[in-house]
Structure 1
Amino acid sequence: MEGAVLLVFVHGFKGDAKKTFGTFPERLAHILHQTHPQWHIDAVVYPTYATRGAMDRTVTELVAWINSEVDARESSFGRQCMVVLCGHSMGGMIALDAALALQSTPHAVRGVLAFDTPYLGVHPHVFKHRISATYDTALKWGAVLAPLTGGIAARFAARNEEDASRRAAWIGAGTALAAGTAIAAGALFTRNDVLSDAYTWATDHLAFVGNLWDVDTLHARLDESYRRAVPYHCFHTRLAADARTFILPPPPDSAHVPHFTALDAAHARDEIEAHTGMFRESNGAYYSMGLGTYSAY
């Protein structure tokens, strides 16, 4: 049966439409065309958008853009166009929200492919390791986020009472954040621009990134996708040396476990490098990721 497929790639926080995915969209389109030559397959990257303010506004804009793109293609091809959304990092959250919004419309999304998307949050070890790495990172994250640490840790622990190691990880992250706050406070005595810089950074981005701290909403998104049978799959990085991950995977007894696949990131020194380098061909899992993405549906 002939058809048209629109693959839409959505970048994540502070991502870039021209840089985030590299040649991966073309690779996935090529794999699909090799196996389904009768289909017209078009891979596009959603234009760069501002990762600030309320995330639901970005979702609304993406939904409108998808409707416009599909209408244009169906008018041109004279046949139905299927949509698959592919999101990196927080782009996967936006993609799944858009899929839920479009489910009961003529342009319902056939599936969501996510790449290192923190559907259940970023693993606390990422903050612990990264915050201690550089002064600037400690300064900004510590100054802005340390007041939130206690609340985040308490809510996380409440949902994971059986997992002492995860609670301990949050305590470690909180210690690093507190240290960053102390550095920032000391710097304020000699640099008046530090507080202004931290405040600007926070007001520009915290509303968007703040979605990662809303544990209940994170769980509700996946629960809703499961209830409404919106297909999604998340490929996430895992450090080969010690199995550390950028995202927080679902617990072993979760119904969402089959929707997550770990890919060893042998190329990376830490979780951030693994996360940002997913679509580089130097990533040893790059080619298997393409094949795995295809077979996910």
Structure 2
Amino acid sequence: MRRTLLLCFIHGFKGGADTFGARSQFSQDLRRRIAQALPNIDVRVAVYPTYETRGDLAACVARFTEWLLEQVIDMEVAARTPSPTVDPSVHCVLIGHSMGGIVAADALLTLAGDRRVGGDEGTLADELNALMFPYVQGVLGFDTPYLGIAPGVVAHGAEGQYAAATAALAQISGFTDALWGSKGKGGEGSSSGGGGGAAKKSVAALPAAPERTTATTATSTPVSTSSGWGWGKIAMVAGAGAIASGAAMAAATAAYQRREQLTEGWTWATSHLEFVNCLARGEVLRARMARMTEAGRQLNVGFGNLYTQLGKAAAAEAQKRNAAMMKDSSTAGGGGGQGSPLRALLPAGERTFCNLPSGQTPAGVWRPAVNDGATDETWAHMSMFDPAQNPNYNTLLRDAGDMIVQWTEGSAWYAGSHVTSVAH
């Protein structure tokens, strides 16, 4: 009997049909690559439909496993498999992006008989079910935060917002400076009367009027300027103030209109954390990794995670931002070169969306998926399956294919696949 490897794709939080590229291009590209490497079997794709992510994680896992069971039963019936639970013709690889990878891991553990999955404490059952149905050959995560979201996602997002705000304020400041003029040679100067310091500075910043007692033109009336003030100057001050206020209001309006664009990455990351509270519970995350590792040991199930890592574009953007902030700081008289006050809080090392495992945490196989086109972690995370946004798309495709082929080609299940001749 010719056997089938079913690649089941599970989108993540707020994902949908296009998570794996327009018309699920990545899933089809991966299927073709694996089919070429594993000629003994058929390779098919099933993309899990959009599901409601506001419910409990356990409920999401239950709905997915029910859907998977229906898919596999239909395929086994069509193949007329004599004993699908003992010798299935269909093996599955669960492939999840972001939170979809956690759904995939918990689905495997549920099928394998881990009744404690999702709990705060406890260990695996002594023996896992080697005859699980549907049978899962491996679990592959794409940028799945199995150990939580990296602090740099929030820290760099905050720094980016600070940089945007600093640039906007610098533009407004530069515009108003052009209106008011620079300080005169006489310093801040003074004016008669009991006006406040701010008023004195504003008046002193205006260009000095010619020293004359009257100004007469064909279109003007005499104006007294003996005290340094006059209706003409008052009008100029009022007009400039109105223009400056209008400029500030226009800048504020523009910033408000762009609020969704400016805060998209920040809001996405924080809402991700807010919804999936399990990502903030380190003991649950570590327990899941230990259980997946044990499942691999007992059942020979593959487990891996291809995590995004920023590359060339992010490095260039960081240099550009630092140079701009140093210039703004110097121009504003802030000591020069200080940059963002958040700089000291930014984590060192490679910029990733996921927390990476340490030597003490069993976590399967983790490989970096570098994106040389993305400038922040969130964008790399959301665009990893888009060839137009990810210059390293083919590398991602190759690494994913190699991992799944390695899990499959050495198995007795694969070796036993063949085309049954039809008796005449």
TM-score (norm 2): 0.51
| Number of the residue aligned with 2:358 | 251
Structure 2 residue 320 is matched with structure 1 residue 214: no
Change (3 A) 1:281 1:87: same
Q: Is the 8 A contact 1:6 1:41 kept in 2?
A: yes
Partners in 2 of 1:39 and 1:248 — Cα distance? 36
Name the amino acid aligned to 1:212. L
Rounded to whole Å, the distance in 2 between the matches of 1:132 and 1:52 is: 29
Aligned to 1:275: 381
1:59–1:94 contact (8 Å) kept in structure 2 = yes
Greater Rg by CA: 2
Q: Measure how far apart 1:206 and its partner are.
A: 6.8
Q: How does 1:21-170 map to 2 (within 5 A)?
A: 21=21, 22-79=24-81, 80-103=89-112, 104=129, 105-134=132-161
Question: Which position in structure 1 is the counterpart of 2:11?
Answer: 11
1:20-39 deviations in whole A, cap 9, x for unaligned? 44411001110111122332
Structure 1 residue 205 displacement after superposition = 7.4
> CA 1:254–1:215 in 2, change beyond 3 Å: closer, same or farther?
closer
Moved more, 206-215 or 106-115: 206-215
Asked if structure 2 preserves the Cα contact closer than 8 Å seen for 1:52 and 1:207, the reply is no
Gaps of 5+ in 2: 82-88, 113-128, 163-267, 316-348, 408-424
1:44-64: CA deviation from partner (whole Å, max 9, x where unpaired): 110001111211100000011
Q: How do 1:282-297 and structure 2 match up within 5 A?
A: 282=388, 283-296=390-403, 297=407
Distance 1:219 1:253, change over 3 A: closer
> In the alignment, is the contact (CA less than 8 A) between 2:286 and 2:361 conserved in 1?
no
**Conserved in 1, the CA contact under 8 Å of 2:90 and 2:135?**
no
**CA distance 1:206–1:263, change in 2 (3 Å):** closer
Q: Which residue of structure 1 lines up, in the alignment, with residue 304 of structure 2?
A: 233
SS in 2 for 1:6: strand
Aligned to 1:149: none
1:54·1:207 contact (CA, 8 Å) conserved in 2? no
Cα deviation for residue 42 of structure 1 reads 1.1
- After TM superposition, the structure 1 = structure 2 runs for residues 155-194 of structure 1, keeping only pairs within 5 Å, are none
Q: Report if the CA contact (8 A) 1:10-1:17 is conserved.
A: no
Give 3-state SS (helix, strand or coil) of 1:262's partner: strand
- Runs of 4+ aligned structure 1 residues displaced above 6 Å come to 204-207
* CA spacing shift, 1:53–1:132, aligned 2, 3 Å: farther
| CA drift at 1:253 | 4.4
Q: Tell me how far 1:19 sits from its aligned partner.
A: 3.8
| Structure (1 or 2) with the greater helix fraction | 1
CA separation in 2, counterparts of 1:236 and 1:7? 19
Instruction: Verify the 8 A CA contact 1:54 1:208 in the aligned structure 2.
Output: no
| 1:207–1:57 CA distance, 2 compared to 1 (3 A) | farther
Q: Deviations over 1:119-149 (max 9, x none)?
A: 00000110122245459xxxxxxxxxxxxxx
SS at match of 1:49: coil
User: How high is the sequence identity, in percent, across the aligned residues?
Assistant: 35
**Alpha-carbon distance between aligned partners in 2 of 1:18 and 1:245, rounded to the nearest angstrom:** 23
SS in 1 for 2:52: coil
1:209-252 per-residue CA deviation (whole Å, 9 max, x = no partner) reads: 11111111001100011122242100001112362000000014
Give the conservation status (yes or no) of the 8 Å contact 1:93–1:119: yes
Q: Distance in 2 between matches of 1:15 and 1:106?
A: 27
Find out whether 1:263 has 2:334 as its counterpart.
no
The whole-number CA distance in structure 2 between the counterparts of 1:40 and 1:63 is: 22
Q: For 1:19 and 1:217, locate their aligned partners in 2 and report how far apart those are by CA, in whole Å.
A: 26
AA in 2 matched with 1:277: S
